[in-house]
Structure 1
């Protein structure tokens, strides 16, 4: 079985408690996961498309891990999608790189989960806000478009059991990715 590629896009990962803890947990299983930090690989933001495509091709499943930024993905994640998912490779004539490949999202949200409901403060679920990813994955014929989310990341200092909740989410995230 091929390993799962976890593509991490976080412009300030050194300040992210949750994303760092998730990566720490996944690093315990190097036989299952390849962790690829796009900001670290391309600090100038210039993506080597051929290298990224080869990395995807060398793996089985693909996970996109990022924090929500203004109810969307960080800009470099969008750039990665725009450039790497090229015509003739990911879609279109001869474009079958993702066909049948399982994909998932690992997302951290600063806002608490009750605010991400139709009745909540923002009137939309996280899944609704991430619908463009579902459409994209469907367009490139990927399978298993699933979401793993951590809510309330920006309120950690005010939550007594935050470290425990983060640790538990890391274990659950690794389990979730192992089951793809």
Structure 2
């Protein structure tokens, strides 16, 4: 599933990050679905590519160079992204490449956040355990997109992933596939 550092021309790059992929109910499933989408989709499993946390900046920047759509696919952990994805962001979205003077490499591309949460939708809100709506946890993602000139796409979120039944998982996977086709401009999409 994970691609090596070899360069492929893809209009969509899926950056997947799950620290325990063997236990994943959502991320692994969506990675498989994206991998079946065709040559226009490059699926990059960060924990498989970089188990030592040494990010190959040049390879990652090269993977993003021709992308029209970048997908961040991960479970939400402590109200944000898993640690290797944060390190990837710190390394790959470098000053002078992704932002700042000369930092135009990502400008005009789209960023789509696809995440799962352990908590249910009811857990997010004034009376829920998290005390805030889920949208209140998105500003770091949105601001990262804005700073780098990425076009922010409405996120796709599956709440209560631990308790989702097969029908809910399949429906979420189908929504992901439709969104992937639509956002990537794949002519097979609707």
Q: TM-score, normalised to structure 2's length?
A: 0.87
Larger relative contact order (C-alpha < 8 A, sep ≥ 6)?
1
- CA–CA separation in structure 2 for the residues paired with 1:149 and 1:115: 14
SS for the counterpart of 1:123 is coil
Within a 5 Å distance, the mapping from 1:1-180 to structure 2 comes to 3-156=11-164, 162-180=165-183
Contact kept, 8 Å, 2:112 with 2:153, in 1: the verdict is: yes
Deviation at 1:174, TM superposition (A): 1.2
Residues 5-56 of structure 1, C-alpha deviations (whole Å, 9 max, x = no match): 0000111111111112212222221134211101111110110111100101
Contact kept, 8 Å, 2:145 with 2:152, in 1: the verdict is: no
Residues 110-136 of structure 1, C-alpha deviations (whole Å, 9 max, x = no match): 100111123322122222112101011
Q: TM-score, normalised to structure 1's length?
A: 0.91
Contact kept, 8 Å, 1:100 with 1:142, in 2: the verdict is: yes
- CA–CA separation in structure 2 for the residues paired with 1:144 and 1:138: 8
The number of aligned residues is 175
Deviates more, 1:24-33 or 1:170-179: 24-33
Unaligned runs of 5+ in 1: 157-161
- CA–CA separation in structure 1 for the residues paired with 2:139 and 2:153: 10
Deviation at 1:2, TM superposition (A): 5.0
Residues 66-98 of structure 1, C-alpha deviations (whole Å, 9 max, x = no match): 111111111111111111110110001110111
SS for the counterpart of 2:154 is strand
Query: What RMSD, in angstroms, separates the aligned Cα atoms of the two structures?
Result: 1.5
Unaligned runs of 5+ in 2: 1-8, 184-190
SS for the counterpart of 1:31 is coil
Deviates more, 1:131-140 or 1:12-21: 12-21
